[in-house]
A and B are shown apart, each in its own frame.
Chain A
Amino acid sequence: MTTVTTTTTPAAPAPAGPADGEERQVRRRRRLSPGRRLPAARMLGPVLVLLLWAAASAAGLLDPGAIPAPWTVLETGARLWTEGTLADDILTSLRRAGTGFALGLTAGIVLALAAGLSRAGEALIDGSVQLNRAVPTLGLIPLFILWLGIGETFKVAIIAIVVYIPIYLNTHAALSGIDHRFVELAEVQGLSRPAFVRQVVVPGALPGFFVGLRLGVTGSWLGLVVLEQINATSGLGYMMFQAQNYGQTDVILVGLVVYGVFGLVSDTLVRLIERRVLSWRRTLSS
């Protein structure tokens, strides 16, 4: 980028002032910010990668055993959907992640509210959660298998823990970081405690909650993948694990694509909700 387009306003006939030196027309300075965003910029990179992949496959540059062509992956996906168990596997995985996520979300919100709104709650809850956070949740898997058996319960429990921690941490931080000036204002305006919580504390904590929510959503997929590949007899991860044993790269790629779609759709959904709920924030950035 060497060309700099400057749209200088057509200078009114150069001011014939008492020029004791030479006069210079004002040139706009070189812009240091990256400038305007390209249209559909987010999708540009992925599309390019896809095109390269397709081109390389068509040219025979890629070993189909290691990286099958995009259309092979699509065909396999369609075949697994109509003839195989892909639909069932997806449902199983979604149920696991969904149940775990719902539990984690509820626990995260309830605990954050209890810890953020009362000193007793904070004393009881916050330390425990911080301790819980220090132990990597996936390290709890052996213990949970012994406690809950190798069925669905333990998988859901692990996902719930992975989800609740970021939601709790961010929501609690936002609740306790509420601007002191707003607390004072609520006192002056004579708000009752429930009204204060509803009208000042909760709306003020929502941005933090959404940060936690997005981390939680990502966490639920991460937990799902790990759990399904270690010890499962159904679900997407199991399908991919089986495919690994039989050397079916295309099936593994189908699984990855589905995971990717899960992640993308859920993240977009959360972002849409966030935009609606936090619409007051948009006025700041626009």
Chain B
Amino acid sequence: MAPHAEQLTRPAVRLRGLTRSFAGRTVLDGIDLDLPAGQFTALLGHSGSGKSTLLRAVAGIDHGVAGGGTLTAPERVSVVFQDSRLLPWRRVLPNVLLGAAGGDAEERGRAALAEVGLGGRERAWPSELSGGEAQRAALARSLVREPELLLADEPFGALDALTRIRMHGLLRRLWERHRPCVLLVTHDVDEAIVLADRVLVLDRGRIGLDLAIDRPHPRSYRDPLLGEYRERLLTALGVTEDPA
């Protein structure tokens, strides 16, 4: 199940001594991290731990945030946000094509919509989509760019539990087909374990735990062997089971 070996040799993302701080409060405290090309990584942490700050730094959209360190990322980067961010004044297909260049862009847009199961909804308005559909359109938009790096900031956080499970399957299938390097920011331990091959825990501005999840896909939420990973991650997050 491991991605192609020659892909893994070339890191897609490389962070060295990355620091970021808001109003004197250090959020990222010198992070060193390599994300190999084609690897599916999840980043866990408490709210306010700096997960999003890290993602936004890698995406290059943290204007005006103080910090230093070096950061390399691929040319083609896509970001999926927690909200779908579909422009309400554009129909679905033009939304998916936002910023896409090239004569075959429309074709790729239609293909991407079909891939996420929204074939036939090209002419719908964003306001006519359900939350899950809107998020699938956002995924399609990120695919059109054929990204080498896909950054996802709690992309399923606003969805209901059932839709979320379906979206997990979709995201994993898309990853298997396109093999971008994925950095999925989430606060959901189960989501991280089921989806990712490597889980990072951000703790006090540093990578507190770097855990490889060595289980075959598709993974089931009921797989008892995943329980061990869950325990370790919860401990790293400082969550202890209340004996009462």
Residues of A within 8 A of B (CB): 181-182, 184-191, 195, 199-200, 203-204, 206, 278, 280-281, 283-284
Contacts and interface: CB of A to CB of B under 8 A. Distances in A.
A189 B99 contact: yes
Given A185-B98, A191-B98, A203 B61 contact: no
Interface of B: 59-61, 77-79, 81, 83, 85, 87-90, 98-100, 125, 127-128, 141, 145
B149 to A, nearest CB: 12
Nearest to B101: A190
Contact of B99 (A182, A184, A195, A284): A195
Nearest to A196: B99
A186 B89 contact: no
Given A195-B99, A280-B125, A284-B127, A188 B59 contact: yes
Nearest to A191: B99
Tell me what chain B mostly uses at the interface: helix, strand, loop, or mixed: loop
B99 A200 contact: no
A278 B125 CA distance: 12
B43 to A, nearest CB: 18
Contacts of A187: 60-61
Contacts of B89: 203-204, 206, 278, 280
Given A188-B59, A189-B98, 15 more contacts: A181-B81, A181-B83, A182-B85, A184-B81, A188-B77, A189-B100, A189-B145, A190-B99, A191-B98, A195-B99, A200-B87, A280-B127, A281-B88, A283-B125, A284-B127
Most chain A CB within 10 A, of B60, B61, B88, is at B88
Nearest to B79: A188
B189 to A, nearest CB: 27
26 contacts: A182-B85, A184-B85, A185-B81, A185-B85, A185-B98, A187-B61, A188-B79, A189-B145, A190-B99, A190-B145, A191-B98, A191-B99, A199-B98, A200-B87, A203-B87, A203-B90, A204-B87, A206-B89, A278-B89, A280-B88, A280-B90, A280-B125, A281-B88, A283-B127, A283-B128, A284-B127
Contact of A182 (B77, B87, B100, B125): B87
A186 B86 CA distance: 11
Contacts of A278: 89
A181 B82 CA distance: 11
A37 B242 CA distance: 58
Contacts of A190: 99, 145
A116 B207 CA distance: 42
Contacts of A186: 98-99
Contacts of B98: 185-186, 189, 191, 199
* Across the A-B interface, the 6 shortest Cβ-Cβ residue pairs: A189-B99, A203-B89, A188-B79, A185-B85, A280-B89, A283-B127
A199 B125 CA distance: 16
B109 to A, nearest CB: 12
| Residue among A190, A191, A278, A283 having the largest count of chain B Cβ atoms under 10 Å | A190
A184 B55 CA distance: 13
A181 B85 contact: yes
Contacts of A280: 88-90, 125, 127
Contacts of B59: 188
B125 A188 contact: no
Which of B83, B87, B100 has the largest number of chain A CB atoms within 10 A? B87
Which has the most chain A C-beta neighbours within 10 Å: B78, B85, B128?
B85
Nearest to A207: B89
Nearest to A195: B99
B217 to A, nearest CB: 28
A192 to B, nearest CB: 9
Contacts of B85: 181-182, 184-185
Contacts of B141: 189
A280 B124 CA distance: 10
A188 B78 contact: yes
Contacts of A191: 98-99
